[in-house]
């Protein structure tokens, strides 16, 4: 067991292609964890080990690795950059104490880095900034620093300055110590010299150092007073102030380099140890009431002597079985312990515990507060569940996941595929909470729901390759409904005479529109026994059974009230079945007279866009028959809230990204059903009738 102050749990997050995975590879090489450096271009990196990741050169799921630097243990999580996989970033930030935001030297602050930055702000995670790819054409460190201020509304604290630009980039100057680190052309990270600051950079370095010192001493009133009086603070004092400011999110120490060319990574690792908080220095996780989700006022103090409190933040199925990734907040965990899952109320025994090295693992016998480990073979644990000591039950703050915004219908190509698909989907849903599966009762299709087209594309690919299930993928569908608009009073008689006892039932009834959301209601005001009481349930059943197929296009009917007020019966020929048939006939006869209307699902849409594209986004939503309800300006852009019919929202993410040059995002959820405009209704009815005729 090590001293907790020597732990650093950090994540690396950024926009697509800013160089997160390459930076992780270099960290592993420098800390001696790997000997040959992998490359995303040929799919040989340590943390991108899925086939789909190696092929596409992107990260899809977060991977954890542990390594050591300057006697400190670093648990590093490499996360994806694509918006479709933000759930991976979000859940990683939830269990980390610090992060490194990687920005591309030429691309600067890109849209996904904005999202991830926002997530990190919500989770209050301390961060360093690493401006990468400074050897690239068009790379400009100072431009990126300005963007961090203006786009993210954050305060970068410049710690290193680049020596040379683009292909002449040879090293960095450490502003704090006024030393230059220059690498040779061998491409090896360890081949560098520490020199004096180049003569042409002395003035720049002094200007930035003054700014650094002024910002840092604001964290300590005594030092600030001494500095005002002309006393230069020591490097130890400055480091202490920078550490405090970083922990309190007052500023973000900013470094530069090129991960691919192995330049500047050592200083980032030193900064992780010097400035990012240990598990004991972060605000402890709040405990919540399992019923309401409200904080109880207690916290999970980070200490090995407390009762066990841990959070399962990721489930992964691999060749060794199901792995549950766990962050231990307090207490200890040993092989063979029995732990309680407070979400299910069930206890489980810990069989094997492993420390993850991306796709490899090292067996552990025990772990303690501050550790991020994986447990093999847990049965009923899901993402976001709290694992605790059975004698001290508690619930940690749950994770909130975005709701899926797009769905497709899939069917296996062959009969044997459906069982295989069921098992595979069960595992995939456990792994990814932003991916959901349900069965469409009307068509029998399996519906996959996800965060975007790429997300579902990869899921279909995983089903095909990992689980060997070939699918037929359908078009996205909309669930329409029907209702009526005018009250109708009508009468219907069912009689049938064919030898022996006949059938007879006469009902007089009113059908009228119900309140929104009321469903189907039936009442009877018959007096004098014209329709005996024992037949009323049969009449109600007859009407209710017809509500699944409306008069216009056969969609289910919503919000209708039926009142039975009179009728007639025959002492011999009347029966429950006769009255049930009468009710069905009455429905068919009267519904078309009651002003039937088609309803469509309306979605609450929340769009986030940079300010310069607000006009385009609103114009486009209006063209989609949207109603804009609200606009809020924020630091990094504008949120537009509105209500838009679901049928108009297919493919929207593509349009939004094109309109906002990739910086817009949106989420949507179901709001209510509303009447369809006549032209839309006609089209839907015609299409449905055509489809039914084919069946």
CA pair distance 503, 494, nearest whole angstrom = 7
pLDDT of residue 359: 53
Q: Where are the domains of the chain?
A: 4-281, 285-388, 406-473, 481-594, 599-685
In the structure encoding, which two tokens stand for residue 235, read together?
């490097």
Phi, psi (rounded to 5 degrees) for 205: -60, -45
Helical (H) or strand (E) element with 388:
strand 386-388
Residue identified by tokens 């310069």 is 612
In the structure encoding, which two tokens stand for residue 12, read together?
């690396």
CA pair distance 604, 654, nearest whole angstrom = 19
pLDDT of residue 695: 59
Q: Do 536 and 564 form a contact (C-beta atoms < 8 A)?
A: yes
Find, among 219, 225, 254, 221, the residue nearest to 238 by Cα: 219
Find, among 645, 654, 608, 594, the residue nearest to 624 by Cα: 645
pLDDT of residue 47: 45
Angle at 66 between CA 60 and CA 71, to 5 degrees: 150
- The per-residue DSSP string of 218-257 comes to TT-HHHHHHHHTTPPPPHHHHHHHHHHHHHTTS-EEEEE-
Domain pair 406-473 / 481-594, same fold: no
Report the SS3 class of residue 45.
coil
CA pair distance 432, 462, nearest whole angstrom = 13
Q: Which CATH class is domain 285-388?
A: mainly beta
CA pair distance 197, 269, nearest whole angstrom = 21
Phi, psi (rounded to 5 degrees) for 613: -115, 10
3-state helix, strand, coil in the chain (%, to 5): 30, 35, 35
Report the SS3 class of residue 364.
strand
252-256 and 126-132 beta bridge pairing: parallel
Superfamily assignment of 406-473 in CATH? Elongation Factor G (Translational Gtpase), domain 3 (3.30.70.870)
Helix segments in 6-140, DSSP class H = 20-30, 51-56, 86-95, 111-123
Q: Do 513 and 534 form a contact (C-beta atoms < 8 A)?
A: no
Angstrom distances, CA of residue 643 to CA of 597, 630, 664: 20, 10, 18
**If you count DSSP H runs as helices and E runs as strands, how many of each does the chain have, helices first?**
16, 36
Q: Do 322 and 315 form a contact (C-beta atoms < 8 A)?
A: yes
pLDDT of residue 167: 80
Choose the CATH number for 481-594 among 3.30.230.10, 2.60.40.60, 3.30.310.50, 3.40.50.2300. 3.30.230.10
Helical (H) or strand (E) element with 560:
strand 560-568
For the domain bounded by 4-281, which CATH number is listed?
Answer: 3.40.50.300
Residue identified by tokens 């063209």 is 623
Residues of the chain whose pLDDT is less than 70?
1-2, 14-21, 23-64, 78-92, 110-112, 187, 290-293, 317-321, 356-361, 398, 400, 402-406, 441-443, 451-454, 476-477, 499-500, 634-636, 668-669, 694-695
- The per-residue DSSP string of 321-348 comes to EEEEEEEEEESEEETT-EEEETTTTEEE
Angle at 35 between CA 15 and CA 185, to 5 degrees: 75
In the structure encoding, which two tokens stand for residue 518, read together?
């009321």
For the domain bounded by 599-685, which CATH number is listed?
Answer: 3.30.70.240
Q: Do 95 and 7 form a contact (C-beta atoms < 8 A)?
A: no
Mutual angle of helices 652-659 and 614-623, in 10-degree steps: 150
Q: Do 310 and 12 form a contact (C-beta atoms < 8 A)?
A: no
Angstrom distances, CA of residue 386 to CA of 64, 365, 398, 399: 20, 21, 8, 11
pLDDT of residue 508: 95
Angle at 325 between CA 322 and CA 329, to 5 degrees: 150
């Amino acid at each position: 067991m090590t001293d907790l102050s020597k732990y650093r749990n950090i994540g690396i997050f950024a926009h697509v292609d800013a160089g997160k995975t390459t930076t992780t590879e270099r960290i592993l090489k420098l800390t001696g964890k790997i000997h040959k450096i992998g490359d995303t271009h040929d799919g040989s990196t340590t943390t991108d080990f899925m086939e789909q990741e190696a092929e596409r050169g992107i990260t899809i799921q977060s991977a954890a690795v542990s390594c050591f630097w300057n006697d400190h243990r670093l648990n590093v999580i490499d996360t994806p950059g694509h918006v479709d996989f933000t759930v991976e970033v979000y859940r990683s930030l939830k269990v980390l104490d610090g992060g490194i935001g990687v920005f591309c030297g030429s691309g600067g602050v890109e849209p996904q880095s904005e999202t991830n930055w926002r997530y990190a702000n919500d989770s209050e995670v301390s961060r360093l900034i690493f401006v990468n790819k400074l050897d690239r054409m068009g790379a400009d460190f100072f431009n990126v620093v300005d963007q961090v201020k203006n786009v993210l509304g954050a305060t970068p604290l410049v710690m290193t300055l680049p020596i040379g630009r683009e292909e002449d980039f040879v090293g960095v100057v450490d502003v704090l110590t006024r030393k230059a680190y220059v690498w040779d052309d061998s491409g090896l990270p360890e081949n560098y010299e520490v020199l004096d600051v180049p003569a042409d950079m002395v003035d720049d370095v002094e200007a930035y150092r003054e700014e650094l010192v002024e910002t840092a001493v604001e964290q300590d009133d005594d030092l600030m007073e001494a500095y005002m009086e002309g006393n230069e603070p020591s490097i130890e004092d400055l480091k202490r102030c920078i550490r405090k400011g970083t922990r309190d999110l007052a500023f973000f120490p900013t470094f530069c380099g090129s991960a691919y060319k192995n330049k500047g990574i050592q200083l980032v690792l030193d900064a992780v140890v010097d400035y990012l908080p240990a598990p004991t220095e972060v605000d402890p996780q709040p405990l919540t009431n399992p019923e309401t989700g409200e904080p109880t006022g207690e916290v999970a103090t980070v200490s090995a002597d407390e009762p066990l409190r841990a959070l399962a933040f990721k489930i992964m199925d691999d060749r060794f079985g199901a792995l549950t990734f766990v962050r231990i907040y307090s207490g200890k965990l040993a092989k063979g312990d029995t732990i309680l899952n407070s979400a299910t109320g069930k206890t489980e025994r810990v069989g094997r515990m492993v420390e993850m090295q991306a796709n490899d693992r090292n067996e552990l016998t025990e772990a303690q507060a501050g550790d991020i480990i994986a447990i093999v073979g847990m049965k009923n644990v899901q993402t976001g569940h709290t694992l605790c000591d059975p004698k001290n039950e508690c619930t940690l703050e749950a994770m909130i996941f975005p709701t899926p915004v797009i769905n497709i219908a899939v069917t296996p190509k062959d009969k044997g595929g459906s069982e295989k698909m069921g098992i595979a989907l069960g595992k995939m849903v456990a792994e990814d909470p932003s991916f959901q599966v349900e069965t469409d009762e009307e068509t029998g299709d399996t519906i996959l729901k996800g965060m975007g087209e790429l997300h579902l594309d990869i899921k279909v690919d995983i089903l095909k390759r990992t689980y060997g299930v070939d699918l037929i993928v359908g078009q996205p569908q909309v669930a329409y409904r029907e209702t009526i608009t005018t009250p109708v009073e009508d009468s219907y008689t069912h009689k049938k005479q064919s030898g022996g006892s006949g059938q007879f039932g006469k009902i007089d009834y009113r059908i009228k529109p119900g309140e929104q959301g009321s469903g189907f209601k039936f009442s009877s005001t018959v007096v004098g026994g014209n329709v005996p009481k024992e037949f009323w349930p049969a009449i109600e059943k007859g009407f209710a059974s017809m509500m699944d197929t409306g008069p216009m296009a056969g969609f289910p009917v919503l919000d209708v009230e039926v009142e039975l007020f009179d009728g007639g019966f025959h002492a011999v020929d009347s029966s429950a079945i006769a009255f049930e048939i009468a009710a069905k006939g009455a429905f068919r006869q009267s519904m078309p007279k009651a002003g039937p209307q088609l309803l469509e699902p309306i979605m609450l849409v929340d769009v986030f866009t940079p300010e310069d594209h607000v006009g385009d986004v609103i114009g486009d939503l209006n063209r989609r028959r949207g109603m804009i309800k609200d606009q809020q300006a924020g630091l990094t852009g504008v949120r537009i809230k509105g209500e838009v019919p679901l049928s108009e929202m297919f493919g929207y993410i593509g349009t939004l990204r094109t309109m906002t040059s990739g910086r817009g995002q949106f989420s949507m959820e179901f709001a209510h059903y509303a009447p369809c405009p006549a032209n839309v209704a006609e089209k839907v009815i015609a299409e449905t009738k055509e489809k039914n005729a084919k069946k």
